[in-house]
Amino acid sequence: MKLFIIFLALASFSLFGCSNQETEDYVYLFSYFKGDSRDGLHLAWSEDGLTWKELNGGNSFLKPNAGRDKLMRDPCIIKGADGLFHMVWTVSWAERGIGYANSPDLLNWSEQKYIPVMEHEENARNCWAPEITYCEKKGIYMIYWATTIEGAFPETWVPEDDGLNHRMYYVTTRDFKEFSDTKILYEPGFNVIDSHIVPFEGEFIMFLKDETRTPPAKSLHVARSGNLTGPFSQPGDVIHGNYWAEGPTSLYIDGNWIVYFDIYRDRRMGAVTSNDLENWTEITDQVTFPPGTRHGTALKVKRSVLDNIIASTSVD
């Protein structure tokens, strides 16, 4: 009988220990750039998704060397099915490809690679704000970005903003070595950039920016699809206040969405929250980011990842 009680106690400890570990063993990271992005990748971390603290003393984790202009704007990082962190970024204001690298720990990075996703299109002007989303069902990654192709979609062309008139394009890959042909992902009938797509309850949720200048929109919206590569719905209403915003990224915490974004004309970060993706509450005054934080990606990681970063970058 005594042996049984000991066994039961040990089993209970193991059970509840696992439960606590599930809720306490994760934190949040935010990848971002500062200034003109030439110094590369920056990271911040948070316990609650509201208060973000810089890592590595605010210094860069990786300096860019891919592409002609060697920028590292809009760094997007996801944890892949292979256990690696995969990152893509904007290498230039006016090149036809994107940057790529991977890392097991966000400290040691592979050789940087330039992926020429729009080099086949001689009238393509740029490749901005690439992101990656993984489809577990199909076992594929989709890389997507915004490009202006001269002469395409003339019905929404205006001379303002240097005549830029973006749509979203994509490629798919299983290994970041071989890629599908480039295809159009989203054509909502207006100039669109900065799509951020996450899987949720059998759907794919797209946060996006309406980049229309005349009349001015410069606003963030939500669209949905049952398939990673679309088609996606027409976007819903604006999800934030009366200001221009870009670079949405999201976390889903305890049944609530938090969408972070760059309020770029005010040089600050903002955020909204929702429990249904339709009704949004402004929480910009509740979030804090390191000075100079610009367009990036939020992701959930095991605490051990953060602990290793802190241990490896701390100065004795």
Where do the domains of the chain lie?
Answer: 2-313
List the beta bridge partners of residue 219: 210
Tens of pLDDT, residue by residue over 6-47, are 333 434 433 333 333 345 599 999 999 999 999 999 999 999
Global pTM? 0.92
Q: Does residue 301 contact residue 27 with C-beta atoms inside 8 Å?
A: yes
Tens of pLDDT, residue by residue over 77-122, are 999 999 999 999 999 999 999 999 999 999 999 999 999 999 999 9
On the question of pLDDT at 5 being above 80, the answer is no
Token couple for 155: 């019905």
What is the C-alpha to C-alpha distance for residues 240 and 255, in angstroms, rounded to an integer? 19
What is the C-alpha to C-alpha distance for residues 197 and 132, in angstroms, rounded to an integer? 8
Residue 24, pLDDT score: 58
Residue 1, pLDDT score: 43
Which top CATH class is 2-313?
A: mainly beta
Token couple for 33: 């750039």
Q: Does residue 92 contact residue 85 with C-beta atoms inside 8 Å?
A: no
Residue 315, pLDDT score: 58
| Polymer length of the chain | 316
Residue 11, pLDDT score: 41
Tens of pLDDT, residue by residue over 204-227, are 999 999 999 999 999 999 999 999
Average pLDDT, the chain: 93
When pLDDT is averaged across residues 259-287 and rounded to a whole number, the result is 98
Distances (CA, A) of 155 to 10, 54, 126, 165, 232: 69, 44, 20, 10, 20
